[in-house]
């Protein structure tokens, strides 16, 4: 029905204009549709619509017209008559959107059509109830008719009812009926007219309706569009609202965040303040840190330098230590440990050796028991260290060989520990033999300008105590015919005569030869080693060198020995040939052990000849060689016993002091050098003797010098003593002399007075010349030579002036003697002598002046009687005095009187001493000169004592300042100053 109405709504033009009900239904359907639309949009006002809807639904009832009327009235009333709702309605209309306002208007336009279609019914109002009931039935039918869709169905129904009623009343009502029928016909005509009018009107209305419908449809469409638009807008609004809410939430969050940030900002501000404060501290700290950093850097560089220095020092120390060891002649021992092999690893064997301090040459054997044993060697190589590393420390031996030293390198150890690996190596990991030959030829190449070398190689083995030449073809033990023995070819030189020596020019040739030898060696499989060496393999590289600069020739040997491994026969389960081999190997190794023990204990007898091996190694083990031993060990804890044995043996070997290795100079050259050495030794001896005698001379001279110095010192002391004594004596003498002079003057005056009186009394007057003392006349020199002196001069007090040495000396002597003798006459005479005028003094002076003053400088001997010379010297002036004195003076009591003699001796001794002092004072440098002369003489002792003496003698006067005559020299000699 709804679809039908909608269809009719859509195709409104096709609908019958007469079918009001249909239209009404269609309108209702449209309204319903509109309502439906409005229902979907909750924002469209619904109050009036609800009413309209209710009205329309009612209008679809049986009395559609009657029912519709009040509804329409209510509709219209609601819009027109009800003043109460006007304002609301206006407001509603005013507020209601345009499309909503048009809808009721459309409904209102439909309402007259419905009214018209129901209009014929009201005239039947006065109908009886039955009729009314029928009418109701008819209305019901009529109500059903519109539903069936027939426009005139209601009218025909009504007519049918009337006919029925007519039939009911039949006859009596026939007239009435006719009337009624006529009236009805009229009515019908009228109705038809009305109907026609209505039809026309209806057409018009239909047209209007159509238009309205069209506009309604447009409106609906618009409404729909708008609705949709509104919907979309609402959706958009909704989205916006949601967005807004979200934004609000976001804003809220942001504001919260902002708040948090603000607080954080506050905190940060505070922190920044603090940081600002801290910044200055930090700056300070930074500078301090920088300072420390620079200090640290400098310290670090210093530390680095120190470290480098330390490492250099350590290296140097090590080198020096090595050199020391080398000088001491120890056998150097390197220890090498092989890695665990696959079998051992599979068995889960663990390492028994600790290599933590291997760099210091130490290794620790942990062993089965808890105790650890530490061994120290020259170098320790752990299992990880390769052949190159091992050779690094072996290389210097190559240079030693070329320098002319015998070198022996041998590998010792338990079977299967890597002796052959170390010595021979493999194709990819060359061993010591290859590398040392390579190094040898490299150095030969380097030295080709200065040295010329000739290198020969031989290879032998000691198998079951027999020496086999490995370079002989078919030299297998079974086929060998030639028995080789070790012979001593020269003192300390052992050799195997008959050994093939292949001369090689380069490394390849040498290696080929050695390989040939190694391949010919007896090798067998044992439990311990699949390729076990069953013999001691010995390669000998002989180097003949010539120094092209000085022609020195050397003849040295390099022994490269791979010993057979020691093995426990029980452990290896050797049998037959292998057992014999093992026994021989162990025997020779035990002989080696004996030799080592003997060497270690510095035994008188070293059992080198107990085995072929030790006999061959004799040169290497007895001091002429540089020897290096590789002790090979196994890391396996199951081999600890053997390892300890090997290590103990190696330790003993390391302890052997062989003495310094000797350069193997060629014998021819050696004799020449020996001769030269002999001569040099003789020269040395004679030189030594010379040096010894010179040393003795120097020693004796030094001793003499010392004695002289001592003597000089003693003399100086004595002189000082005498000086002080002399001073005292001089003072005393001066006092005494002054007293005497005063007494003499007095006495003289008295005598003169007495004689004057006597003369006056007894004799006649004399001339002035007669008053002169005869003595003075006698003393007077010839008149021509005697200058007249002022008489006042005689009265001059006694002076100790040097200018009047002779005078004062004589005067002093005479006065002293007078004083001693207490002889007034003599004293007077002496006074006269001393105080006489110049004419009287001159002759005496002439006699005394020639006496050199130095006469009195002669040292006084201890006993005056024993030394006549000083006595003479002392006596001579007195004799002279006597000689020139007048008779009363010629025999002075001084000389005759014993008592006076002793005194005069004393005085003279004092004087002499004083003069002696003068001597000392005058030439003070003479003693020093003597000493210097002594020193010079000592220095010149090597050239001869006499020349030194002459030099000293020459230098003494020069040192003294004034030249001295031979007398002085003699006196010096007498004093012992030049000795």
Ligand X SMILES: Nc1ncnc2c1ncn2[C@@H]1O[C@H](COP(=O)(O)OP(=O)(O)OP(=O)(O)O)[C@@H](O)[C@H]1O
Binding residues for ATP: 413-420
Among 96, 379, 415, 908, binds ligand X (CB under 6 A): 415
Q: How far apart are CA 362 and CA 372, in angstroms?
A: 12
Closest to 631 (Cα-Cα) out of 610, 614, 656, 648:
648
Which residue, 360 or 427, has its beta carbon nearer to ligand X? 427
Stretch that binds ligand X, among 244-252, 413-421, 788-796, 805-813 (CB under 6 A): 413-421
Q: How far apart are CA 493 and CA 507, in angstroms?
A: 26
Among 405, 421, 463, 798, binds ligand X (CB under 6 A): 421
Q: How far apart are CA 565 and CA 586, in angstroms?
A: 8
| Contacting ligand X within 280-299 (CB under 6 A) | none
Residues within the annotated binding site? 413-420
- Provide CB contacts within 8 A for 120, sequence distance 6+: 154, 155, 158, 191
Q: How far apart are CA 27 and CA 22, in angstroms?
A: 8
Q: How far apart are CA 549 and CA 449, in angstroms?
A: 9
Which residue, 218 or 388, has its beta carbon nearer to ligand X? 388
Residue 868 CB coordination number (10 Å): 11
Q: DSSP string of 73-103?
A: HHHHHHHTT-HHHHHHHHHHHHHS-HHHHHH
Which residue, 632 or 775, has its beta carbon nearer to ligand X? 632
- For residue 459, the cross-strand partners are 539
If binding is defined by CB under 6 A, does position 22 make contact with ligand X? no
If binding is defined by CB under 6 A, does position 433 make contact with ligand X? no
Q: How far apart are CA 445 and CA 550, in angstroms?
A: 19
If binding is defined by CB under 6 A, does position 959 make contact with ligand X? no
If binding is defined by CB under 6 A, does position 775 make contact with ligand X? no
Among 69, 220, 420, 535, binds ligand X (CB under 6 A): 420
Which residue, 534 or 708, has its beta carbon nearer to ligand X? 534
Which residue, 342 or 801, has its beta carbon nearer to ligand X? 342
Query: How many Å is the Cα radius of gyration of the chain?
Result: 83
Q: How far apart are CA 38 and CA 177, in angstroms?
A: 53
- For residue 394, the cross-strand partners are none
**H-helix segments, 171-328:** 174-328
Which residue, 135 or 633, has its beta carbon nearer to ligand X? 633
Stretch that binds ligand X, among 410-418, 543-551, 794-802, 964-972 (CB under 6 A): 410-418
| Contacting ligand X within 435-494 (CB under 6 A) | none
Q: Do residues 72 and 78 touch, judged by C-beta distance below 8 A?
A: no
Q: Shortest gap between Cβ of 574 and ligand X (angstroms)?
A: 11
Among 533, 625, 814, 904, binds ligand X (CB under 6 A): 533
- x/- letters, 536..565, toward ligand X (CB under 6 A): ----------------------------xx
Q: Shortest gap between Cβ of 308 and ligand X (angstroms)?
A: 33
- For residue 460, the cross-strand partners are 469, 538
| Contacting ligand X within 632-661 (CB under 6 A) | 632
Q: Shortest gap between Cβ of 532 and ligand X (angstroms)?
A: 3
Stretch that binds ligand X, among 47-55, 234-242, 530-538, 742-750 (CB under 6 A): 530-538
Q: Shortest gap between Cβ of 529 and ligand X (angstroms)?
A: 4
Which residue, 409 or 722, has its beta carbon nearer to ligand X? 409
Distances, alpha carbon 171 to alpha carbons 168, 177, 178, 181, in Å: 9, 10, 11, 14
Distances, alpha carbon 848 to alpha carbons 631, 804, 811, in Å: 108, 12, 12
Which residue, 532 or 620, has its beta carbon nearer to ligand X? 532
Which residue, 514 or 722, has its beta carbon nearer to ligand X? 514
Q: Shortest gap between Cβ of 582 and ligand X (angstroms)?
A: 10
Helices (H) and strands (E) in the chain, counts: 32, 16
Q: How far apart are CA 907 and CA 874, in angstroms?
A: 10
Which residue, 565 or 877, has its beta carbon nearer to ligand X? 565
Among 213, 220, 475, 529, binds ligand X (CB under 6 A): 529
Question: φ, ψ for residue 475 (rounded to 5)?
Answer: -90, 30
How many amino acids of this chain bind ligand X (CB under 6 A)? Answer: 17
Stretch that binds ligand X, among 306-314, 408-416, 549-557, 766-774 (CB under 6 A): 408-416
Among 112, 120, 153, 339, binds ligand X (CB under 6 A): 339
Q: Shortest gap between Cβ of 424 and ligand X (angstroms)?
A: 8
- For residue 626, the cross-strand partners are 407
Stretch that binds ligand X, among 415-423, 496-504, 702-710, 890-898 (CB under 6 A): 415-423
If binding is defined by CB under 6 A, does position 531 make contact with ligand X? yes
Stretch that binds ligand X, among 295-303, 360-368, 414-422, 803-811 (CB under 6 A): 414-422
Residue 807 CB coordination number (10 Å): 18
If binding is defined by CB under 6 A, does position 142 make contact with ligand X? no
Q: Do residues 121 and 66 touch, judged by C-beta distance below 8 A?
A: yes
Q: How far apart are CA 70 and CA 61, in angstroms?
A: 13
If binding is defined by CB under 6 A, does position 625 make contact with ligand X? no
Q: Shortest gap between Cβ of 426 and ligand X (angstroms)?
A: 7
- x/- letters, 791..810, toward ligand X (CB under 6 A): --------------------
Q: DSSP string of 188-206?
A: HHHHHHHHHHHHHHHHHHH
Which residue, 537 or 956, has its beta carbon nearer to ligand X? 537
If binding is defined by CB under 6 A, does position 417 make contact with ligand X? yes
Among 332, 419, 819, 917, binds ligand X (CB under 6 A): 419
If binding is defined by CB under 6 A, does position 572 make contact with ligand X? no
Which residue, 564 or 574, has its beta carbon nearer to ligand X? 564
If binding is defined by CB under 6 A, does position 837 make contact with ligand X? no
If binding is defined by CB under 6 A, does position 56 make contact with ligand X? no
Q: Shortest gap between Cβ of 412 and ligand X (angstroms)?
A: 9
Question: CA angle, corner 39, sides to 46 and 228, nearest 5?
Answer: 110
Stretch that binds ligand X, among 79-87, 139-147, 524-532, 591-599 (CB under 6 A): 524-532
Q: Shortest gap between Cβ of 299 and ligand X (angstroms)?
A: 43
Residue 433 CB coordination number (10 Å): 26
- Provide CB contacts within 8 A for 656, sequence distance 6+: 330, 331, 596, 599, 600, 621
If binding is defined by CB under 6 A, does position 12 make contact with ligand X? no
DSSP assigned state of 124: G
Q: Shortest gap between Cβ of 576 and ligand X (angstroms)?
A: 17
Which residue, 22 or 533, has its beta carbon nearer to ligand X? 533
Strands 625-633 vs 406-413: parallel, antiparallel or unpaired: parallel
Which residue, 557 or 578, has its beta carbon nearer to ligand X? 578
SS3 71: helix
Which residue, 530 or 717, has its beta carbon nearer to ligand X? 530
Q: Do residues 539 and 410 touch, judged by C-beta distance below 8 A?
A: no
Q: How far apart are CA 913 and CA 908, in angstroms?
A: 8
Between the CA atoms of 759, 762, 766 and 772, what dihedral angle is there, to the nearest 10 degrees? -40
- Provide CB contacts within 8 A for 162, sequence distance 6+: 177, 180, 184
Among 9, 142, 329, 416, binds ligand X (CB under 6 A): 416
If binding is defined by CB under 6 A, does position 338 make contact with ligand X? yes
Residues in the chain: 979
Stretch that binds ligand X, among 322-330, 419-427, 869-877, 971-979 (CB under 6 A): 419-427
| Chain residues that interact with ligand X, rule: CB under 6 A | 338-339, 413, 415-421, 529, 531-533, 564-565, 632
């Amino acid at each position: 029905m709804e679809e039908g109405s909608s269809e009719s709504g859509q195709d409104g033009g096709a609908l019958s204009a007469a079918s009001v009900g249909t239209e009404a239904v269609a309108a209702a359907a449209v309204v319903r549709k509109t309502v439906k639309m409005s229902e979907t949009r909750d924002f469209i006002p619904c109050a009036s619509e609800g009413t309209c809807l209710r009205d329309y639904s009612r209008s679809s009832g049986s009395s559609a017209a009657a029912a519709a009327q009040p509804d329409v009235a209510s509709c219209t009333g609601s819009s027109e008559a009800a003043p109460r709702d006007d304002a609301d309605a206006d407001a509603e209309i005013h507020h209601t959107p345009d499309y909503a306002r048009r809808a009721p208007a459309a409904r209102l336009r439909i309402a007259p059509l419905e009214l018209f279609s129901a209009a014929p019914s009201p005239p039947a109002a006065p109908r009886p109830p039955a009729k009314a009931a029928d009418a109701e039935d008819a209305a019901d039918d009529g109500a059903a008719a519109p539903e069936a869709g027939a426009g005139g169905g209601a009218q025909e129904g009504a007519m049918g009812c009337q006919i029925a009623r007519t039939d009911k009343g039949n006859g009596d009502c026939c007239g009435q009926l006719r009337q009624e029928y006529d009236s009805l016909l009229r009515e019908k005509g009228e109705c038809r007219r009305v109907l026609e009018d209505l039809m026309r009107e209806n057409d018009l209305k239909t047209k209007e309706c159509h238009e309205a419908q069209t506009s309604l449809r447009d409106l609906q469409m618009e409404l729909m569009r708008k609705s949709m638009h509104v919907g979309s807008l609402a959706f958009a609004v909704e989205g916006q609202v949601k967005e807004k809410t979200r934004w609000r939430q976001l804003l809220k969050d942001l504001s919260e965040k902002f708040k948090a940030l603000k607080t954080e900002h506050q905190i940060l501000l505070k922190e920044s303040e603090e940081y600002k404060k801290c910044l200055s501290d930090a700056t300070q700290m930074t500078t301090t840190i920088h300072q420390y950093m620079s200090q640290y850097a400098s310290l670090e560089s210093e530390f680095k330098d120190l470290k480098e220095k330390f490492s250099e020092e350590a290296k140097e120390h090590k080198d020096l230590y090595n050199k020391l060891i080398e000088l001491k002649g120890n056998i150097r021992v390197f220890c090498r440990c092989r890695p665990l092999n696959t079998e051992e690893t599979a068995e889960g064997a663990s390492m028994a050796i600790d290599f933590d301090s291997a760099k210091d040459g130490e290794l620790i054997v942990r062993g089965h028991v808890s105790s650890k044993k530490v061994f120290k060697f020259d170098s320790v190589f752990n299992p990880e260290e390769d052949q190159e590393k091992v050779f690094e420390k072996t290389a210097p031996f190559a240079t030693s060989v070329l320098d002319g030293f015998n070198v022996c390198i041998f590998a010792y150890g338990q079977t299967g520990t890597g002796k052959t690996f170390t010595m021979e190596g493999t194709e990819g990991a060359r061993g010591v033999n290859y590398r040392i030959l390579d190094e040898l030829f490299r150095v030969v190449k380097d030295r080709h300008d200065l040295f010329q070398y000739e290198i020969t190689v031989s290879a032998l083995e000691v198998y079951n105590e027999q020496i086999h030449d490995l370079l002989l073809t078919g030299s297998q033990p079974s086929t060998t015919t030639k028995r080789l023995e070790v012979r001593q070819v020269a003192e300390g030189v052992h050799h195997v005569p008959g050994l093939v020596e292949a001369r090689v020019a380069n490394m390849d040739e040498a290696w080929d030869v050695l390989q040939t030898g190694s391949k010919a060696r007896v090798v067998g499989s044992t439990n311990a080693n699949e390729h076990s060496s069953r013999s001691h393999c010995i390669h000998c590289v002989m180097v003949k060198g010539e120094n092209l600069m000085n022609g020195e020739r050397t003849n040295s040997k390099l022994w490269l020995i791979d010993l057979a491994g020691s093995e426990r026969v029980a452990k290896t389960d050797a049998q037959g040939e292998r057992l014999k081999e093992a026994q021989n190997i162990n025997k020779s190794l035990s002989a080696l052990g004996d030799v080592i023990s003997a060497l270690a204990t510095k035994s008188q007898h070293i059992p080198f000849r107990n085995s072929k091996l030790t006999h061959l190694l004799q040169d290497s083990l007895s001091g002429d060689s540089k020897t290096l031993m590789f002790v090979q060990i196994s890391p396996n804890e199951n081999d600890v016993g053997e390892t300890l044995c090997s290590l103990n043996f190696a330790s003993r070997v390391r302890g052997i002091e062989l003495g310094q290795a000797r350069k193997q100079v060629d014998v021819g050259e050696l004799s020449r050098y020996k001769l030269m050495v002999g001569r040099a030794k003789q020269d040395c001896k004679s030189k030594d003797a010379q040096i010894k005698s010179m040393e003795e001379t120097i020693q004796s001279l030094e001793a003499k010098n010392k004695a002289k110095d001592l003597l000089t010192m003693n003399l100086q002391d004595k002189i000082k003593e005498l000086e002080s004594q002399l001073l005292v004596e001089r003072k005393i003498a001066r006092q005494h002399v002054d007293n005497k002079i005063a007494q003499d003057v007095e006495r003289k005056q008295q005598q003169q007075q007495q004689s004057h009186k006597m003369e006056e009394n007894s004799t006649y007057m004399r001339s002035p010349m007669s008053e002169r003392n005869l003595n003075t006349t006698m003393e007077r020199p010839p008149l021509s030579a005697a200058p007249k002196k002022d008489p006042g001069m005689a009265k001059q007090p006694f002076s100790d002036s040097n200018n009047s040495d002779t005078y004062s000396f004589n005067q002093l002597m005479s006065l002293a003697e007078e004083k001693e003798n207490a002889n007034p006459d003599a004293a007077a005479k002496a006074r006269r002598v001393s105080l006489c005028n110049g004419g009287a003094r001159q002759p005496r002076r002439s006699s005394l002046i020639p006496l050199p003053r130095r006469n009195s400088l002669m040292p006084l001997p201890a006993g005056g009687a024993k030394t006549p010379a000083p006595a003479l010297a002392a006596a001579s002036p007195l004799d002279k005095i006597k000689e020139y004195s007048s008779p009363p003076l010629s025999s002075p009591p001084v000389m005759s009187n014993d008592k006076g003699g002793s005194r005069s001796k004393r005085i003279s001794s004092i004087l002499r001493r004083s003069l002696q002092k003068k001597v000392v004072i005058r030439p003070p440098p003479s003693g020093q000169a003597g000493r210097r002369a002594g020193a010079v003489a000592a220095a010149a002792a090597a050239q001869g004592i006499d020349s030194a003496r002459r030099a000293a003698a020459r230098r003494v006067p020069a040192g003294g300042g004034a030249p001295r005559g031979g007398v002085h020299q003699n006196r010096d000699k007498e004093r012992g100053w030049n000795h």
